[in-house]
Amino acid sequence: MDITRAPKSKRSRYIVGGVGVLAVIAITVVLGQLKPAVPTVERSTLWIDSVRRGDLIREVRGPGTLVPMQVRYIPAVTSARVDRIVALPGQVLSPGSVLLEMSSPDVQIELLRAEQSLSEAKSALVNLRVSLENNRLSQEMAVASARTANTQAMQDATAAEALMVSKVIAPFEYNNKKAAAQEQATRLRIEQQRLTLITQAVDSQIAVQQQQISRLKAIVEFSTNRVQSLTVRAGEAGVLQEMSLQPGQWVIAGSQLAKIVQPGKLKAVLRIPETQAKDVALGQPAAIDTRNGIVKGHVSRMDPAAVGGTVTVDVAIDDPLPAGARPDLNVDGTIQLERLQNIVYTGRPAVGQDGGTIGIFRLEPDGKSAVRVQVKLGRTSVNAVEIIKGLNVGEKIILSDMSANDNADRVRIK
């Protein structure tokens, strides 16, 4: 038979619920105090280096290309049509080598017109000489006639004066003879002055015409040079590097026709990161890796401004270039900034700039784990960095990128 049970009291149920809530809170607190698991990294993926003391050559490195030191661009003197291509890129040229031939009827017509104007000016000069000489001779004849008339008038005046003393002629006739002599003397003086003026004008008028001829000769010479420029020649010895024209193509005056370089006279143009270029100076030694040998050089020029995060630095090459070196060849350059003596340094970590403070994982003595320490960096080089504070000589650190473990202060090395 069933046994009747007494119902449980509400107080008991409250006690059981309270105990459950307290248990949940206690578990949450305990779990919150637990430290996260230490991440593990593979030793084979790490770049580990030691801290050491000694001398350090501070360097910066950047990619670049070989560029000719002497480049000659051949421009189009006049607009013309390309008729024939004579030289091709890569061809060795002498100063008079023909590169291409062009034609322009307008330029040739201008030369003919200039030559015609010059011929007309020369003919005008001859006619001017003849005309001026005729005028001068006519004036000399007038002077001669005036001189004869003056002599005759003076003689008449002298005779009249003698007759006047003897009272053979009247005073009226004597005065007429004397006035005629004075008139002829004045006329002679005027004709002589006119001859002098004509003689002086001859030289000046001829000089003006000769100047006109000189100007026309310059125009003819200019037009001749334009016609001759239609046969494009190399201005100096070198190698033809660029010429992308085709027969029948029309080029305008001033456009580039060809590019001639000196293959044996090259320089390296390096692109140095702007954060590292601040200490680069003229004259600093450099080494250029041409992929076929390393040659020495020195910094010869720097761009005053950064472009695209880099500063362009020109390096003059002092050693003979190896075989195969040619313009536009990709190279790597290393510039020596200074030599640091007796400093604490290590390999350059994946992150960090000059004078910055970064977190670096330092290996424990057992080599099975590493802890994060704050390290103040000094001056940096291509593969090394000066340690100011945070590490001691002999300690080993991880230089690899550990950004995946930014939330961890310790890692396990497996």
Predicted local distance difference test score (pLDDT) of residue 146: 85
pTM given for the model: 0.58
Would you tell me how many other CB atoms lie within 10 Å of the CB of residue 104? 20
Spatial distance between the Cα atoms of 262 and 241, rounded to a whole number of angstroms: 10
Task: Profile the chain (414 residues) by mean pLDDT over runs of 10 residues.
Answer: 51 62 64 62 85 89 89 89 91 89 92 93 90 85 87 82 75 81 86 85 86 93 92 87 89 90 85 87 92 91 89 92 84 91 87 82 86 88 87 88 81 84
Sheet of 256-261: strand order equals: 71-75, 256-261, 238-242, 92-93
- Between the CA of residue 211 and those of 111, 125, 128, 205, 228, what are the distances in Å? 20, 11, 14, 10, 25
Q: Is the sign of the CA dihedral 160, 164, 168, 172 positive or negative?
A: positive
What's the pLDDT score for residue 30?
52
